[in-house]
Structure 1
Amino acid sequence: MKAIAKFILFTLLGWRLENDFPQQPKKYVVIAAPHTSWLDFPIAILSRMASGTMIHFIGKASLFKGIFGSFFRVLGGTPVDRTKSNNMVDAVIDIFNKKEEFRLGISPEGTRKKVDKWKTGFYYIAKGAKVPVVMATLDFKNKKIKISEPYYTTESKEADFEVFHSFFKGVKGKNPELF
């Protein structure tokens, strides 16, 4: 599967992978941005498969119904009910605490629409689970996926978000006006 994913991503689609997903530590949160198109998902899945590193994801529950539900679960997905007011951060921290190895990919924007401010759930998940954040770009202009080294959050949320935002500076999503 890894060879097929590499062939599709690199040869057929012309993407490049700068760095690879870290093998250590065995637990971290991946923030992938910009998230401006449905095409982000297949590119992210192909890059994960090409690297050979399982990165799990969460998605709205409606995506996990019927045939697609089985498909998304096989790909490493977990459905979330966004209509209920449940404590998603604590639930995900609990998953991290129960597993020996778990890497979770999240879009910091939380949607494909333009947002003024990123959601903070990924940050509180990383802090609560005591795991680092790995940043991954989806740069459609340069067809480049860049992966950062693990970043351990500090006591300053503002300083941490400056690091996150600077990593993605200049990256163009499929629909750049949405980022």
Structure 2
Amino acid sequence: MQITIFNTPILTPCLRLVARLLLKLHGWRVVADERALKLKKYVLLAAPHTSNWDGYFFILAALKLKVNPQWMGKDKLFKFPLGGTMRWFGGIAVDRSKANNLVEATVNQYKSREELVIAVPPEGTRGKTERWKTGFYHIARGAAVPVVCGFVDFAKKEAGLGPVMEMGENLAKELARFGSFYAGKVGKYPDDYTAPV
């Protein structure tokens, strides 16, 4: 198991206390679907993803909720001198220059582990795009794991885990469900948010 900010012995309990304090100072509340807290394996959506501030509050919420998410990033982020730090924050390096099947590789990771939560920002970038990337859907279907709607909402000053969704065969229908949930969630820069459909 990769040691991260979310599971480092001795240090992580201290960081959870700091996260609680920071959330209180910022005036933010953390909420979670009880079913999500009991799951050991799922794909965790991280949306809206409009700035690094969204990630900051997402990390604080994960610490408070005792969730251990990992995420995938460009391999360039994992080179010296920041590579160790990125891995400690849960990062998994991905070489995007090679024609490898990221979905299949991720599905295999889920199948080989007892516990795994991979956070995926479905917008793919902090800027406005045309539509969500759907790799998370194919990963969840291939690994037979649910999707949990992780979120930040600057309008309400809330972050946390929303509903647990099992993925059906109709992608358009699933994206519409996500659209309904995230419609009221506001990132740091609302104009940069990309809706699922």
TM, length-normalised to structure 2: 0.85
Residues 19/137 of structure 1: CA separation in 2 closer, same or farther (3 Å cut): same
Q: Which amino acid aligns with 2:161?
A: I
**Aligned equivalent of 1:144:** 158
The Cα of 1:84 is off from its aligned counterpart by 2.2
CA separation in 1, counterparts of 2:26 and 2:76?
Answer: 29
**Aligned equivalent of 1:100:** 114
Q: Which amino acid aligns with 1:62?
A: K
Residues 14/20 of structure 1: CA separation in 2 closer, same or farther (3 Å cut): farther
**Aligned equivalent of 1:42:** 56
Q: Any gaps of 5 or more consecutive residues in structure 1?
A: none
- Identity among equivalent pairs (%): 39
**Aligned equivalent of 2:74:** 60
- Between 1:21-30 and 1:131-140, the stretch displaced more is 21-30
- Between 1:148-157 and 1:106-115, the stretch displaced more is 148-157
Q: Which amino acid aligns with 2:159?
A: I
SS in 2 for 1:124: helix
SS in 1 for 2:141: helix
Residues 46/146 of structure 1: CA separation in 2 closer, same or farther (3 Å cut): closer
Q: Describe the superposition over 1:76-110 as per-residue Cα deviations: whole angstroms up to 9, x where unpaired.
A: 21011222222110111111111100011000111
**Aligned equivalent of 1:158:** 172
**Aligned equivalent of 2:44:** 30
CA separation in 2, counterparts of 1:137 and 1:49?
Answer: 14
CA separation in 2, counterparts of 1:20 and 1:2?
Answer: 19
SS in 2 for 1:28: strand
Alignment of 1:75 onto 2:81: no
The Cα of 1:140 is off from its aligned counterpart by 1.6
- Between 1:47-56 and 1:75-84, the stretch displaced more is 75-84
Q: Which amino acid aligns with 2:27?
A: G
The Cα of 1:75 is off from its aligned counterpart by 1.9
- Please tell me whether the aligned partners of residues 20 and 51 of structure 1 are also in contact (alpha carbons under 8 angstroms): no
The Cα of 1:168 is off from its aligned counterpart by 0.2
**Aligned equivalent of 1:176:** 190
- Please tell me whether the aligned partners of residues 61 and 160 of structure 2 are also in contact (alpha carbons under 8 angstroms): no
- Between 1:134-143 and 1:19-28, the stretch displaced more is 19-28
**Aligned equivalent of 2:24:** 11
CA separation in 1, counterparts of 2:26 and 2:46?
Answer: 19
CA separation in 2, counterparts of 1:142 and 1:62?
Answer: 35
CA separation in 1, counterparts of 2:83 and 2:59?
Answer: 16
The Cα of 1:145 is off from its aligned counterpart by 1.2
**Aligned equivalent of 1:122:** 136
The aligned length equals 178
The Cα of 1:164 is off from its aligned counterpart by 0.8
SS in 1 for 2:186: coil
